[in-house]
Structure 1
Amino acid sequence: MIDVLELLPKVELHCHVEGAMRPETVGELARANGVGLPVGDVTELYRYGSLDEFLSVFWLVQSVLVTRGDWARLAYESVVDAAGHGRVYAELFFTPARHLAAGQRLADIVAGLTEGLEAAEAETGSRAMLIADIDRAYGPAAGLQLVTELGELQPERVLGIGMDSTELGVDPASFREAYALAARLGLRRTGHQGENSPASAIATVVDVLGAERIDHGLSLMEDAELVRRFAGERIPLTVCPNSNIRIANAFPSLELHPYPAMRKAGLLATLNTDDPAMTDLDLGYEYRSVAEAFGYTFDDMVAIALDGVEASWLDDSDKAALRRRVQDEADTLRQG
């Protein structure tokens, strides 16, 4: 089943474009932009004992992105790399708070990303849209400013907003103004929650902020009533099992991850890589490892791929077309 899962068309809804930066690109951009790195081999950076340790490295990697061309290169390479493992559509996070604080313009960042995505799509056929992520570490005012600028720019490639960075000691409700403005602007809304926070915080992101999806959502399983609600309302979770182990160290092994329990409870739980280059992952590996760890059949994995289509922010006609593609290519793969 290994080869067919690599070839199965897949959707990814939880991938940070900065976390998809090739190690060699980190090194080259650091040298070009005068950014000092603490190690000679960039791969040595990618070791983390906790989510907060990971974030410190993530912020360092972000710092090498200085010009519009840097953003274009990042976007292009991330899509080309993922397309080689069967990803046909993605909604990618980018987190510009640090760059905006350093004087970069949101218009230039989005233009660079768009340029790279368009070039990669023309080459591979793999499409990607963008989600502008609020960095919680910069606070609610910066989040509101980001959404305000998005409203002024109205970039076609940006579908919505999210919220990431540390969950510790941060009340998600403090970002209600930014999310309310995003809703008025017609932007879709999601939020990272439940990796290092209780189920009540997940409920806050949905009920107070109006999020339509939850990224990670691990602690949801602690609240049976909330699980039933999410399952009944088909509120998607963008789950990243291998990342939860390699970055957050939330579980000792993949076999102990609650992903099967999420599926069994009827949750719309999709599979994603989170930060593939920084965890030495790709979406094909994510599917293979989950299938092997939990004894899933090919049909099980096709169902997960189709759930990715359902959870996406594509319009109904594009969803229907992508659903047919997944089903048709799955049928071909079954025939061997």
Structure 2
Amino acid sequence: MLSYADYLQLLPKTELHCHFTSTMTAELFVALAGKHGVELPTSDPAHLFAYADLREFLVGFELAHDVLRDPEDIEAVALEGVRVGVEAGLRYREYYVNPQYFIARGMSYADVIDPLISGLSAAEAQYGVGFRIVVAVNRAESGAEAIRLVELMAENPRPSVVGLGMDDLTPEGLEAPERFAEAFALARSAGLRLTAHVGETDRSEAHSVRFAMHDLGVDRIDHGYRVLDDPDLVAEARERRLPFCATPVSTTICSDWQLTPDHRIARMIEAGLAVNVSTDDAMFFRTDIGREFREALPALGVDAATARRIAFNGIDAAFCDDDQKARLRSQFTAEFTALDALFQRDALLPED
């Protein structure tokens, strides 16, 4: 019989909050470290991916960039990451990539972007999973460096690179979106879509979400859980249908929040916000897009109809063109119809 967990695993899915380096498998990560002589604390994933909080995780996240040194490394990660995603129902994905990490290691912007596009294009041809790329500002760097990054994007235009975001934390451990307002204004004038990691943990505030919405003019919010601390902001976001890209499993590690019906993501869904679901950093948090639906959503108290709505929210929030969105909606509708028929049939079968 098709269980509810099976149903959620098989639902077609988008993923909009996905950091490219984190789409590696642990095995590939260890192999690439060996290839390039990068010393890891351990080769045991059970200990390699153990973090006390967000800041400790970010140290490991930076280390992952050390093992991606050749174009073929980037292409291999891109192809393998899509293959694993397809097993969990992935149909479309948007990737955050931090060129600043790679540039600091001697690579150029094009050295990073071009093999990434090549690998993802090969994966799309093989598995049918569409993609777009969002370049992410590293908040550990200065506002001036963020501006230079946007200038590099303008100097090296690629049709698949459609947006600007921001992640990591400032040297003081803050979100501080205001430090990067000039870079975001430049990106907006260049026609890029905008998003930002804000309101993520207990150390952040609703002010960061408000600044991203009002001053940066973002098209969607990454995380944004602290929005709930400001009822007026919740009402505004609901009225605007502003998308929130939530990552349930990561909150259990970065914020030590339990996945229950009282979780902030559950409350955001209940408040009528346009929530979609992603992995954030799959390898590091030992998750995948299937687990986020199969395990996290039931723990949050989400029923089948709401799970389908969350999946459709991912299409609405995507930075692809309208034609691709229309194709995804048709594909998802067909798959939902088939799964619903099977799920309802099995629910009517007598138990042994």
So what's the TM-score if we normalise by structure 2?
A: 0.92
Q: Deviations over 1:91-133 (max 9, x none)?
A: 1111121211221011011111011101111111111211111
* Alignment-derived partner of residue 270 in structure 1: 276
Q: Which residue matches 2:222? A: 215
How many percent identity over aligned positions? 35
Alignment equivalent of 2:185, drawn from 173, 180, 187? 180
Counterpart of 1:71 in structure 2 is 74
Cα deviations by residue, 1:209-260 (Å, 9 ceiling, x for unpaired): 22111100010000000000000001111001111112x1341344442222
Alignment of 1:120-269 (within 5 A): 120-166=123-169, 168-196=173-201, 197-246=204-253, 248-269=254-275
Deviation at 1:135, TM superposition (A): 0.5
Conservation of the 8 A alpha-carbon contact between 1:199 and 1:223: yes
C-alpha separation in 1, matches of 2:286 and 2:76 = 19
How many Å separate the matches in 1 of 2:121 and 2:127?
10
Deviation of the 1:176 alpha carbon: 1.2
Give the match's secondary structure for 1:132: strand
Give the greater-gyration-radius structure (CA).
2
**TM-score (norm. length: structure 1):** 0.96
CA contact under 8 A between 2:196 and 2:212: conserved in structure 1? Answer: yes
Amino acid at match of 2:285: T
Does the CA-based 8 Å contact 2:259-2:300 persist in structure 1?
no
Is the Cα–Cα contact under 8 Å of residues 241 and 257 in structure 1 kept in the other structure?
Answer: no
Instruction: Tell me the alpha carbon deviations over residues 262-302 of structure 1, each in whole angstroms, 9 at most, x when there is no partner.
Output: 11211011111111111111111111123321333322211
- Residue 31 of structure 2 corresponds to which residue in structure 1? 28
* Aligned partner letter, 1:303: R
What SS does structure 2 have at the residue aligned with 1:137? coil
Q: Which residue of 1 aligns with 2:349?
A: none
Alpha-carbon separation, structure 1, partners of 2:236 and 2:83: 37
Deviation sequence 1:120-162 (CA, Å, 0-9, x none): 1111111121111110001212211111011011112111111
Matched residue count: 335
Cα drift, residue 50 of structure 1: 0.4
- Tell me which amino acid in the other structure corresponds to 1:300: T
Deviation at 1:73, TM superposition (A): 1.2
Q: Contact 2:261–2:301 at 8 Å: present in 1 too?
A: no
- Counterpart residue number, 1:327: 333
Root-mean-square deviation (CA), in Å?
A: 1.4
Q: Which runs of 5+ in 1 are unaligned?
A: none
Task: Pick closer, same or farther for the CA change 1:12–1:166 going to 2, 3 Å.
Answer: same
Conservation of the 8 A alpha-carbon contact between 2:263 and 2:300: no
Letter in 2 for 1:315: D
